[in-house]
Amino acid sequence: MRTGLLKLTSQPYKTSFFSKLLLRVMLKKEGVQNWRTIEIQKGPNSKPYIEGDINFNISHSNNMILCCTDRNNNIGVDIEEIKEVPKDIFDMVFHKNELEYYKNMTKEQFYRIWTLKEAYSKYTSLGLNYDFTKIDTTSLNFRKNIIQWLEEDYICSIYLEIKKEMNITRYTQEEILKYYD
């Protein structure tokens, strides 16, 4: 499994453009010959995919992009900047066990749970249409398939079929652009 993080120095509105560039760089590192021109397709619930045996998923928040690729292993990722918590949505997104467990949750705890749920929903191809109150992140069965870490002021979560060792490559905007010279 390859994981790439890109912190943009330009305006966040360029995240979509740089997300595609980061994915293509990671596909090149996976050995994909036509990495510059490969067509990104849409599957069920608009989950992006490419033909072949490489799965990928991308997420961005503000000026940080997280991209993960893996051969033969379905994945879902999410990254969120830690900021003020919208407490009025707790009942709409948290399972009853989570509400009890995290009665006085911190901002970091909130985003740890939120990114797990979003990564899982992307893994299952259900996206944000999924009823997040049905996902119990306190369950041991759920937690065995996740990788999660703090990156600066961001929480990163990966939900994957088979948990395996991960190497994170941190890129700069300039490094990504050099691949296209």
Distance of alpha carbon 179 from alpha carbon 29, whole angstroms: 11
pLDDT tens, residue by residue, 28-71: 999 999 999 999 998 888 888 898 889 999 999 999 999 999 98
Instruction: Report the pLDDT averaged over residues 82-102.
Output: 83
Q: Bin 126: left if φ > 0, else alpha if -120 < ψ < 50, else beta.
A: alpha
Range of the structural domain that residue 29 is part of: 2-178
Tell me what pLDDT residue 56 has.
Answer: 95
pTM above 0.85, yes or no: yes
Per-residue confidence band for 149, with pLDDT thresholds at 50, 70 and 90: very high
Q: What is the mean pLDDT of the chain?
A: 88
Query: What phi, psi does 137 have (nearest 5°)?
Result: -75, -10
pLDDT tens, residue by residue, 96-127: 888 877 777 889 988 998 999 999 999 988 87
Q: Nearest-CA neighbor of 45 among 155, 125, 148?
A: 125
Residue 15 pLDDT > 80: yes
Total domains present in the chain: 1
CATH label of the domain that carries residue 73: 3.90.470.20
Distance of alpha carbon 36 from alpha carbon 145, whole angstroms: 31
